[in-house]
Amino acid sequence: SFLPVREFQINSLIMSCPNKTSPLDPIPTFLLKKLADIIYIPLSLIVNDSLSSGVFPYALKHAIAIPLLKKPNLDQNYMRKYCPVVSFAHTYRT
């Protein structure tokens, strides 16, 4: 079970985000920060609804995986020359 997120925590998280944006982000980070004072309250309601129901929106379950060479001068045609993809499971405790 998760504790509800408070509105000020959402605002703080938005403002502490780096200004990088993923191609999958529906809103660029700079714009999200400009709108933070307007959207942090409804966003906290959405986050808390997701936490209490245990449902994460399917539309947000996407990622881009970019393979990386172990060293920049290696041949890109050999899969063994790429770093392995590692998945990390995070456990959050309250």
| Domain assignment of residue 69, yes or no | yes
pTM of the predicted model, to two decimals? 0.61
pLDDT of 23-66, one tens digit each? 888 889 999 999 999 999 999 999 999 999 988 888 778 777 77
75 is a domain residue: yes
Neighbours of 17 (CB within 10 A): 13
Residue span of the structural domain in which 68 resides: 7-88
For residue 15 the two structure tokens come to: 């403002």
| Gyration radius of the chain's alpha carbons | 18
pLDDT at 87: 54
- Domain-located, residue 1: no
Domain count, the chain: 1
24-27-33-37 Cα dihedral, nearest 10 degrees: -130
Is 57 a member of any domain?
yes
DSSP per-residue codes, 17-48: S-S---TT-SS-HHHHHHTHHHHHHHHHHHHH
Residue 42 has what pLDDT? 94
